[in-house]
Amino acid sequence: SIYTDYFFDEAAFNTHDGGYVPLEEPDIPQQPLRVPPLLKPDKETATDTYYTVEAQAGETQLLPGKKTKTWGYNGTLLSQTMVFAKGKTMHIDLKNSLPELTTFHWHGLNVPGPYTDGGCHAPVYPGETKHIDFKVDQPAALLWLHAHPCPSTAEQVWHGLAGTVIVTDEQEAKLPFPRNYGVDDIPLVLQDRRFHADNQWDYNADYDPDGVQGPTAMINGTINPYFDVTTQRLRLRILDGANRREWRLHFSNDLPFTQIASDGGVMPEPVEFTHLMLTCAERAEIIVDFGKIKPGQTVTLYSDDVPLVRFRIHDYQRDDVTLPEHLVDIPDPEVTPGTPVRKVVMSGMDEQVMIDGKKFEMQRIDARQKVGNVELWDITNTNDMDAGMVHPFHMHGTQFLIVSRNGKAPYPNERGFKDTVGVNPGETVRIKVWFEHTGVYMYHCHIIEHEDGGMMAQIEAYDPDHPKTYKLMDMDTL
Ligand code: C2O
Ligand code: CU
Ligand code: CU
């Protein structure tokens, strides 16, 4: 069957928040979609990959006329795509060439916290280079890199510090998915911006504690893009990289598409849609089959009724690949006996946002969970339908499973690994959580201004046989 609604079909902007900024179609000529090039390793062996990731400031031609001042990784905006092959050991130099402190957070990566994970306890000061090493030990997925210095994560991401990471593994490599990067397999980073005088961004002028938005969609750092399609099937690795915006995606003429992967990897079964909603930081990999579209035609991807990307269909070779009904097995471990359900409450809007009635404090550990224990967490959004927002709940250091929404089955595309889940107003989402590595990890709302505003807490994943202490930053040491 084909799902034809967004599941949560309440347009949050209509009923809940007067501050919502609707998207507008840009009135500049169409431009070719930027596809981030693959980052060239400094060195690569059969077992090890070495990268340098440099955060830097620069200027990017986004609109006709003046260039926009932007930040990026190994470039002036966003990043080049990094490939982490499962089983390999990665060695990454993190270089900060910005005028201020930043951190390098690997969103969705299962690595020890808090330093390798790169949240707010792992600052890299201007002019400094730090080094991390880790083994890639999780399924193939689209992850992302973004800045995470508290409390200026939102502003740094707005400047452009967000990048794409593709984890590969042997299991995904055997599935009949397009994977010719840049041709039939491309990332789509969905963001929105407002352009001020001289084509510049002005974070402070646009500031909204419920999340900064702009009326102009920016896709992979391109305004008003088109992409030339030369294959029948196209794989889009979509990331909601916006500070606050939800994307309500569909194609022209309700062309159906198939979701094959969620945040943490390939889903057990493909799910067919005509409409798909993504909340902040969520990923969906979809395959679009243009087999019924004639060369010369254009298929447009929209959010609501605003065009995001125009896919110009060229001649392609017929492709009769069909996806298997079952893609991968997802482990579903038993809950560790005797562990109570952990409750997490996300409340408030604007400056009042909190987790469990508290604002984030860098030096306070809010919860502890033994490594290897499998626990249920109930995440509640106390906002209601009259005055509320979807809070996308994100955890560092783990990929979790979604058990239920208000006691009912999760959405059909929520049966795979997730690290971010949209919790709707008045809803409790039950998730199953376990940690494989020790560390202090953040969990928070991924409306980034809510995170910076204190809707964040941290948990220590601990191993009782190997107790550890951590150097936790605080505002003063920053
Ligand atoms: Cu996408 Cu705390 O991060
Ligand atoms: Cu994260
Ligand atoms: Cu929120």
The domain limits of the chain are 2-14+176-313
Could you count the other beta carbons within 10 Å of the beta carbon of residue 369? 21
Tens digits of per-residue pLDDT, 30-77? 999 999 999 999 999 999 999 999 999 999 999 999 999 999 999 999
Which residue's CA is the closest to the ligand 1 atom numbered 1?
107
DSSP alpha helix (H) spans, 360-414: none
- Model confidence at 8: pLDDT above 90: no
Find out whether the beta carbon of 415 lies less than 6 Å from any atom of ligand 1: no
Token pair in block for residue 168: 């590969």
Tens digits of per-residue pLDDT, 316-358? 999 999 999 999 999 999 999 999 999 999 999 889 999 999 9
Find out whether the beta carbon of 235 lies less than 6 Å from any atom of ligand 1: no
pTM: 0.97
Radius of gyration of the chain (CA): 21
Distance 464 CA to ligand 2 centre (A): 25
Find out whether the beta carbon of 394 lies less than 6 Å from any atom of ligand 1: yes
DSSP letter at 229 equals E
Find out whether the beta carbon of 396 lies less than 6 Å from any atom of ligand 1: yes
- Model confidence at 81: pLDDT above 70: yes
- Model confidence at 7: pLDDT above 90: no
DSSP letter at 222 equals B
Segment 287-311 shows an average pLDDT of 97
Ligand 1 atom with least separation from CA of 119: 2
Ligand 1 atom with least separation from CA of 451: 2
Find out whether the beta carbon of 283 lies less than 6 Å from any atom of ligand 1: no
Find out whether the beta carbon of 146 lies less than 6 Å from any atom of ligand 1: yes
Distance 396 CA to ligand 1 centre (A): 7
Residue 474: per-residue pLDDT: 86
- Look at 2-6, 56-60, 435-439 and tell me which has the smallest mean pLDDT: 2-6
C-alpha span between 228 and 314 (Å, rounded)? 7
Find out whether the beta carbon of 457 lies less than 6 Å from any atom of ligand 1: no
Tens digits of per-residue pLDDT, 146-175? 999 999 999 999 999 999 999 999 999 999
Ligand 1 atom with least separation from CA of 146: 1
- CATH number for 2-14+176-313: choose from 2.115.10.20, 3.30.300.30, 3.40.50.2300, 2.60.40.420: 2.60.40.420
Distance 105 CA to ligand 1 centre (A): 7
Find out whether the beta carbon of 444 lies less than 6 Å from any atom of ligand 1: yes
Instruction: Give burial (CB, 10 Å; 0-12/13-18/19+) of 397.
Output: buried
Distance 394 CA to ligand 2 centre (A): 7
Which residue's CA is the closest to the ligand 1 atom numbered 3?
107
Tens digits of per-residue pLDDT, 367-399? 999 999 999 999 999 988 777 889 999 999 999
Residue 194: per-residue pLDDT: 98
C-alpha span between 332 and 55 (Å, rounded)? 38
